[in-house]
Chains A and B, each alone.
Chain A
Amino acid sequence: MADDNPTNLMVIMAQLAKLGYGADSVVNGGEALAALDREAYSLVLMDCQMPVMDGYEATRRIRASRHREMPVIAVTAHAMAGDREKCLNAGMSDYLAKPVELHRLAEILSRWTVTPASQGLRSSIEIFDERALLERLMNDRQLATKVMQGFLSDFPRQLDQLGRKIAESDALGAGLQAHAMKGAAATVAAGGLRAVALEIEQAGRAGALPRVIELIPVAAREFHHLQTALRHSGWA
């Protein structure tokens, strides 16, 4: 958590503790960068206006560093419409308005991190099971790579289509779309993504559109995890 205002820091640190997250606090962007090099964090909450180095500059530097995959959440008192764009343009992953409401903070944290309870239990195999994929394709790595690349290029389009079904208030259509996404994720041995797609499929079939909407960022996040895992293991 990076914020130069002691009161804000105190409040957010207390909120994080209440939600079960451990956190360290720093007072400017430069200190945030130094902390990232020192310790392994799951996420950064970043105030935008800070002395020495502001949140925008710090985020740009994070994106250019080995921590480029780190979720950075802007925490800002600016409620102007253009501020959100400014944050996203600087490479921030999401946006939290001050004063920070506990339920909004909980929502953002669960969207961008694994929950504290499951932290550490989640292995990379759950995200992508390379062995399972190769075994299922008679160890044909060339075929596996081709299918994986096809999946990676197609999945954002599938998410778009899901969004379109939601815009049309078509819960059943969303369910059917999620069914195809589930099948695709299973085919490339992406267990985490498959699990989210299954949840969306079930919510869609049950006509629970609000739940579908809630799960879309979770699916997007899971896809991001997968891309990262694939890059690290040389698959993409």
Chain B
Amino acid sequence: MKALIVEDDFTNRLLLQSFLSHYGECHIAANGKEAVEAYQAAAQQNQRYDLICMDILMPEMDGRDAIRVIRHMEANASIYGGGAKIFMTSALDDVKEIVRAFRGLCDAYLVKPIDTRKLLDELKGHNLVQ
């Protein structure tokens, strides 16, 4: 599994990176803009990410915009359905609103603080780990 962690907070980044690196290679982006750049670079080398963990509220470009851009780039490359699994990580209290806004764009929603068991369940559920 190759993962991209998009998160502006150091502590949360450290947690996700420490946990996910047991299961594969992890790259880090500190905001949506860096995420899009990392996605593009990986796509150009044809080494796409299997998983993108995306925070919502970030400086520069937030997670919503980054996800739309990435899905748009996938569509332009004629990748439908087989693209990166995107797990949205959010500390926002109104999870329902987020789910409504991102139905179809994301594969899973993880509420912060991250519970590694729930994360692992999602990884298994999306066949990212055995």
Contacts and interface: CB of A to CB of B under 8 A. Distances in A.
Interface of A: 136-138, 140, 143, 146-147, 150-151, 154, 158, 173, 176, 179-184, 186-189
A150 B9 contact: no
Interface in B1-20: 8-12, 14-15, 18-19
B114 interface: yes
Contact of A154 (B11, B19, B91, B114): B11
B91 to A, nearest CB: 5
Given A154-B10, A176-B59, A187-B114, A182 B91 contact: yes
Given A138-B117, A147-B11, A154-B10, A186 B112 contact: yes
Given A137-B116, A186-B113, A187-B11, 18 more contacts: A136-B116, A136-B117, A137-B115, A140-B116, A143-B19, A146-B18, A147-B11, A147-B18, A150-B11, A150-B14, A151-B11, A151-B14, A183-B91, A183-B112, A183-B113, A184-B12, A187-B9, A187-B113
B116 A180 contact: no
Contacts of B12: 183-184, 187
Interface residues of B, number: 19
Contact of A150 (B10, B59, B117): B10
B105 interface: no
A143 B15 contact: yes
Contacts of A146: 14, 18
